[in-house]
């Protein structure tokens, strides 16, 4: 029997998704997804575009504050619209089914498979690095390790919500330990007086105002992931308290860790050395930790695995809710009869991600989609402002000052404009992919003359194979 199988008592429970996300698990989901491979490998994009050490630290702090504004706006949405599904659900409530379907479509066919493939490839690369060091890792070996890692994440999410959450807590603690391995020696160096790299930290001669928005773009991407707890709202204990508290604590932890980690880097490396490094954390470890630096790739791999695990856990709930609303096949809103997991929804991304992994040009696709991501997040927060005026009587147990969503919306739309200006070709292709949602909506949702007998046969077959049933009311 599986070591993560549910107990007989759980087998007898009502078939539904239970409220198993506590405050600690909520924090582990947010922190575990935000802190991916980036902070360990390459914070140099911010340094390059900000022009100086001091400005780069200001950008890290500013992006943390702006992300907190967006996260607290989502906390308000999560406590007044107590449905899982995140972006999709809020678009549905504010702007109707057509806009919600557009968001769902681009998430399903492009953004999520590509993003999941990228973080999974980073896992495959770094988990194998200690075995092949100092030689290059064969590309096929990386893809096989990636496929195994991704399959194990999907298996875990299919088997048990409880164990998925427990392992997420362990992986989040591993990430924070990895950051501590960088921060503690860095702070020691700082207190010893190693401050030469901070001299003239705000040298304005190298700062180009035209490049500062690019630094913010990189920073906001590094903080992205604060919205994932809203994907599992229906499974959160005491939503009114847990969601805002988990979001605030998580953002405080991540911002503090990001800023201190960058300060630690600069105690050992000059700006020039950091810009020349291919993997900043590895370079830092080689300078400070000697032979222990071999552990850094393992920490990075665990960090990527945590992002994969949290991402699958959260995103499956969006497909679960979209199915319940009639925008995806009905079988995706069914629950495994014994495991009480949304098995079909968990498996949805698997084939498309594997396809991207072995045949797709993943990084180009991410470039196409980066502006769409911020466009729709901006629209969701705009939806919060819209609901304030159209539904003033909606219960709001947690309410943010209107200043927060307004500033965050402006930031998102500025980043969208920057994408259009800086890379019109890739942005145009992304718009083209987005427009495919229009015929898809009419084909799959609007017209009701689809052969229902075929849908019933396929749905019933999948239901029997996957052993899933509609959740009990």
pTM of the prediction? 0.86
How many Cβ atoms sit within 10 Å of the Cβ of residue 2?
10
Q: Which of 108-112, 122-126, 315-319, 451-455 has the lowest mean pLDDT?
A: 451-455
Res 86 pLDDT > 80: yes
Peptide bond into 345 cis (omega under 30): no
CA triple 116-120-122, angle to 5 deg = 125
Tokens of 337: 């009869």
Tokens of 297: 């790739």
Spatial CA neighbour of 165 closest among 226, 237, 68: 237
Cβ-in-10-Å burial (0-12, 13-18, 19+) of 14 comes to exposed
Q: Which fold has domain 23-469?
A: Amino acid/polyamine transporter I (1.20.1740)
| pLDDT at residue 428, rounded to an integer | 80
| pLDDT at residue 405, rounded to an integer | 94
What phi, psi does 371 have (nearest 5°)?
Answer: -70, -35
Res 429 pLDDT > 90: no
Mean of the per-residue pLDDT values of the chain: 82
- Cα 147 to Cα 137: distance, rounded to the nearest angstrom: 15
* C-alpha to C-alpha distances, 259 to 48, 65, 266, nearest whole angstrom: 16, 12, 11
Mean local confidence (pLDDT), 211-221: 80
Mean local confidence (pLDDT), 161-180: 87
Identify any residues that bridge with 88 across adjacent strands, giving them in sequence order: none
Mean local confidence (pLDDT), 95-104: 89
CB 278 within 8 A of CB 296: no
Mean local confidence (pLDDT), 350-364: 77
Mean local confidence (pLDDT), 172-190: 88
- Stated as kind and residue range, the H or E segment containing 469 is strand 468-469
Give the pLDDT band (50/70/90) at residue 75: very high
3-state secondary structure 125-174: HHHHHHHHCCCCCCHHHHHHHHHHHHHHHHHHHHHCHHHHHHHHHHHHHH
| pLDDT at residue 68, rounded to an integer | 93
| pLDDT at residue 458, rounded to an integer | 63
| pLDDT at residue 5, rounded to an integer | 41
Res 42 pLDDT > 90: no
One-character DSSP codes across 292-323: GGGHHHHHHHHHHHHHHHHHHHHHHHHHHHHH
Question: Hey, is 326 helix, strand or coil?
Answer: coil
Percent of the chain predicted with pLDDT > 90: 20
Which of the given ranges, 36-40, 186-190, 443-447, has the highest pLDDT on average? Answer: 186-190
Question: Hey, is 336 helix, strand or coil?
Answer: strand
Res 210 pLDDT > 60: yes
Over the stretch 257-269, which tens digit does the pLDDT of each residue have?
999 999 999 888 8
Over the stretch 288-343, which tens digit does the pLDDT of each residue have?
877 777 888 888 888 889 889 988 888 888 888 888 888 888 888 788 787 778 88
Over the stretch 437-470, which tens digit does the pLDDT of each residue have?
888 888 777 665 555 655 666 666 766 766 666 6
Over the stretch 13-26, which tens digit does the pLDDT of each residue have?
555 566 778 898 89
Over the stretch 383-407, which tens digit does the pLDDT of each residue have?
999 999 998 888 888 999 999 999 9
Cβ-in-10-Å burial (0-12, 13-18, 19+) of 285 comes to buried
CB 415 within 8 A of CB 223: no
Res 182 pLDDT > 70: yes
CB 239 within 8 A of CB 233: yes
């Amino acid at each position: 029997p599986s070591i993560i199988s549910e107990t007989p008592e759980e087998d007898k429970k009502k078939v539904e998704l239970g409220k198993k996300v506590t405050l600690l698990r909520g924090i582990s989901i947010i922190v575990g997804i935000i802190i991916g491979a980036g902070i360990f490998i390459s914070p140099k994009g911010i340094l390059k575009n900000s022009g100086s050490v001091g400005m780069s630290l200001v950008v890290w702090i500013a992006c943390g504050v702006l992300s907190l504004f967006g996260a607290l706006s989502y906390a308000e949405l999560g406590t007044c619209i107590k449905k899982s599904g995140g972006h999709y659900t809020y678009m549905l409530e504010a702007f109707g089914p057509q806009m919600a379907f557009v968001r769902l479509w681009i998430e399903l066919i492009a953004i999520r498979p590509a993003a999941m493939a990228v973080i999974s490839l980073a896992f495959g690369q770094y988990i194998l690095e200690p075995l092949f060091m100092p030689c290059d890792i064969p590309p096929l070996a990386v893809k096989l390790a990636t496929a195994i890692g991704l399959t194990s994440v999907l298996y875990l999410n299919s088997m048990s919500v409880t164990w998925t959450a427990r392992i997420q807590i362990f992986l989040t603690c591993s990430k924070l330990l990895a950051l501590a391995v960088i921060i503690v020696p860095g702070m020691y160096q700082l207190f010893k007086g190693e401050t030469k790299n901070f001299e003239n930290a705000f040298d304005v001669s190298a700062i180009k105002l035209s490049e500062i928005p690019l630094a913010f773009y990189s920073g906001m991407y590094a903080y992205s992931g604060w919205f994932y707890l809203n994907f599992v709202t229906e499974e959160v204990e005491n939503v009114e308290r847990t969601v805002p508290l988990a979001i605030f604590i998580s953002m405080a932890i991540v911002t503090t860790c990001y800023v201190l980690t960058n300060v630690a880097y600069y105690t050992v490396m000059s700006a020039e050395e950091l810009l020349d490094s291919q993997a900043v954390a590895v370079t830092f470890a080689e300078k400070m930790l000697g032979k222990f630096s071999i552990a850094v790739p393992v920490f990075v791999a665990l960090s990527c695995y945590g992002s994969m695990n949290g991402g699958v856990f959260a995103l499956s709930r969006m497909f679960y809710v979209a199915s319940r609303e009639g925008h995806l096949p009905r079988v995706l809103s069914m629950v495994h009869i014994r495991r009480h997991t949304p098995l079909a929804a968990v498996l949805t991304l698997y084939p498309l991600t594997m396809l991207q992994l072995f045949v797709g040009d993943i990084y180009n696709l991410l470039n196409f989609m980066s502006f769409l991501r911020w466009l729709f997040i901006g629209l969701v927060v705009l939806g919060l402002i819209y609901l304030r005026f159209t539904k003033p009587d909606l219960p709001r147990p947690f309410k943010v000052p209107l200043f927060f969503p307004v500033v965050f919306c402006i930031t998102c739309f500025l980043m969208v404009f920057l994408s259009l200006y800086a890379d019109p070709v890739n942005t145009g292709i992304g718009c083209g992919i987005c427009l495919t949602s229009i015929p898809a909506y009419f084909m799959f949702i609007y017209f009701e003359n689809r052969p229902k007998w075929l849908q019933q046969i396929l749905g019933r077959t999948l239901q029997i194979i996957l052993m899933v049933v509609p959740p009990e009311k």
